[in-house]
Amino acid sequence: MSSNVADLLATELPQEKLVDRLCSILNGYLEPAQVADCLRAYHYSAKAHTGQFRKSGEAYICHPVSVAIYLAELRMDANGIMAAILHDVIEDTSVSKQEISDLFNKEVAELVDGVTKLTKLNDKSRAEAQAENVRKMFLAMAKDLRVIIVKLADRLHNMQTLGAMPANKKRRIAKETLDIYAPIANRLGMNEIRHQLESLGFSAMYPLRHNILKNAVKKARGNHRELINTIENALNSRLKQAGIDGMVIGREKNLYSIYRKMLTKKIPFSDVFDVYAFRVFCQDVDQCYRILGLVHNLYKPIPGRFKDYIALPKANGYQSLHTVLMGPYGVPIEIQIRTHLMHRMSESGIAAHWLYKSEAQSAKYQDSANEWLRDLMEIQKSGVDSLEFIDNLKVDLFPQEVFVFTPQGEIVKLPRGATVVDFAYAVHTDIGNSCVSARIDKQLVPLQTKLENGMTLEIITATWARPNPLWLSYVVTAKARSGIRNYLKNFQQQEAINLGQRLLEKELESLSINLQDIPPFRIQKLLKAFNMHSMDQLLENIGLGNKMPFLVAKQLHHEDANATKSELTPATQTSPLIIKGTEGLVVTLAKCCRPIPGDPVIGFFNPGRGIVVHLPECRYRHEARKKQTNWLDIEWSHETEGEFPADIRIELLNQRGTLAMIASTISKQDSNIENVTVVHQDDRVSVDLITLTVRDRVHLANIIRKLKQLSIVLKITRVKA
């Protein structure tokens, strides 16, 4: 790709000049009929975007044409170019996907739809909306990798024309670029576009830090020029002596990578920039290893800093030899050795498929990308929500690989810090779900063992084994985390249903009822009362402890008994129930908090006392909850009648006849005093605790209001614990 593409995209040229530039590039590699189709797509898109302008003031059509120019430089096929020109018409105009399919072709329509954001996400947070859009893009990517190529080109041009945006929107777009799109470009091996996205994103996200670092690099570069020339001359001289046709280039460090290294390693700029970086290019792989030997003879290698990405390529297909040497004056030298083809592939990544169609190696990048997408789609199928999908994606976008071997000698790449469980899931989900142990280099090891380069692993499985929730605390790969969560979610649900069924059948058996003999309409009536959709949902709630099996059994029995009575005898008057759904059970009101009708209440089953009813704020409830698991959500029956004790604390002026006045007022409100306790008394004030009977919460509120009207009452409160 030509070096002036970035400048071209950022230049505000009239749309006609942009189209002329696009056509001149397309004429270099497409058939005339295909160029005509692209031109037709331009006229259609220009008409659809008529009257629309970007923040910078230029006609909107300039944006999709600029994106198409970038893709034309990558020698994208005609359908990809048309999709780039049309990529915003579904999102920003009234044009539909079907219309594009009819006017152009289905393939173009699918590509445009894949790039188009989801619009009806008003009920979701910004994070959820972003996650949904990224997930939609990945689903489209799995069908056609051109979707992400178009999207990355679209994002690059948006970043290059970000100047007109408000500061907060700039930062939001820049953060999204650095978090999602630059790592995707890296994962797909597209280093040229990644570096541009990182540089633009860093500049927009942290403009002050970017400028300070840029000036520091410029200053340091001038100071180091002499040393750089010395090293370059020494390397070139050694290659010439060995008769190798190689090329040495000083590698310019990316500002964002310098910033990230300073941030993560907590080191000053001088420590990062003191490492001199060079690339050595040659003709074939054999020469790469010969050059490695030459540079190791020239300068001493630093132990542990050599990486062979030719024999063991990175997950994105990247190949090169990396070594760090101790150069002249004790300065570290970082050298990358690769063939010219490897370099072209590392810059273009999956785009090499169109740039170098004759090169068999471009297929490796395609295969690598497709393998990664297959893993992501497997996670997607497990039913995770969008935010979890993004979390899993980020784990996969920032890998530092370790390479381990299967017993058959196959290489498995995993992120740094991966464990035996991650390896098991990488081999196959079923192996991960049933692993119990492993052998590393024929030695038994636990599942949480972290893997290191060169290990040979053999996973030991068992038919009875299942994933342990504790695994989630140490697995690092998205595939393992998703597989464990998915299995546990389904397993726990089914286990709860089975347990719920056993518990309910046991309770029904004690009432001489068989679950299979209960008519479906009675079960439906009960499900409706519980606001549930299916018997499995009810059984799951019983198994999880949200519904008590004896209560459900009693209610089914009650329905059965009521049905029998209505068939045999006239309905008889029964005493009203205090608590809904407790037919046939003893209900006890707790004396510690004295709940009355109208109060919110909770209860738990006590084998000796039946259902014990408490107020939610009762102090005893916190203690009891530690011991009891049988807590129930309950409520008062509408037909509740009778008198219930309630406690009030009253502060009175300590005068003759005050207690008689209080008793008289309470009596006039149709209530009785059951007990009076003097809590505190002095010459001026008396504090009394009074237990009185009330019908419900409203009745008590009326009594308290009347008492507050008395001049002798200083303060009055209800005692709930």
Catalytic residue list:
91-92
**Cα–Cα–Cα angle for 413, 419, 421, nearest 5°?**
95
Q: Is the dihedral of CA 91, 92, 96, 102 positive or negative?
A: negative
CA–CA gap between residue 260 and residue 237 (Å, rounded) = 34
Contact 369/154 with Cβ under 8 angstroms? no
Alpha-helical segments (H) within 206-361: 207-241, 255-265, 269-273, 285-298, 340-348, 352-355
Q: 3-class DSSP state for residue 535?
A: helix
CA–CA gap between residue 648 and residue 697 (Å, rounded) = 13
Among the listed residues 144, 41, 136, the one whose alpha carbon sits nearest the alpha carbon of residue 83: 41
Backbone angles phi, psi at 413, to 5 degrees: -95, 135
Contact 350/145 with Cβ under 8 angstroms? yes
Residue by residue, DSSP assigns 575-616 as PPPSBTT-TTS-EEE-TTT---TTS--EEEEETTTEEEEE-T
Burial 174-208 (b: 16+ CB within 10 A, else e): bebbbbbbbbbbbbbbbbbbbbbbbbbbbbbbbee
**Cα–Cα–Cα angle for 503, 505, 507, nearest 5°?**
70
Q: Residue 18 pairs with which residues in a beta bridge?
A: none
Q: 3-class DSSP state for residue 612?
A: strand
In the chain, how many H helices and how many E strands?
Answer: 30, 19
CA–CA gap between residue 62 and residue 18 (Å, rounded) = 7
- Return left, alpha or beta for 593; rule: phi > 0 is left, psi -120 to 50 is alpha, else beta: alpha
Which residues contact residue 355 at a Cβ distance below 8 angstroms, ignoring those fewer than 6 apart? 1, 74, 75, 344, 348, 362
Q: Is the dihedral of CA 626, 627, 631, 637 positive or negative?
A: negative
CA–CA gap between residue 110 and residue 112 (Å, rounded) = 6
Q: Residue 402 pairs with which residues in a beta bridge?
A: 414
How far apart are the two ends of the chain, measured CA to CA in Å? 78
599's tokens? 């109060």
Q: Which residue is associated with the tokens 């504790």?
A: 470
Contact 16/126 with Cβ under 8 angstroms? no
CA–CA gap between residue 317 and residue 364 (Å, rounded) = 6
Q: Which residue is associated with the tokens 């990230």?
A: 260
Radius of gyration (C-alpha) of the chain in whole angstroms: 37
Burial 250-283 (b: 16+ CB within 10 A, else e): beebbbbebbebbeeeeeebeebbeebbbbbbbe
Contact 200/160 with Cβ under 8 angstroms? yes
Query: What share of residues in the chain are helix, strand, coil (percent, to 5)?
Result: 55, 15, 30
CA–CA gap between residue 267 and residue 248 (Å, rounded) = 28
Among the listed residues 53, 120, 57, 46, the one whose alpha carbon sits nearest the alpha carbon of residue 86: 46
- Within 10 Å of residue 359's Cβ, how many Cβ atoms? 14
Q: 3-class DSSP state for residue 539?
A: helix
H/E segment holding residue 659: helix 658-668
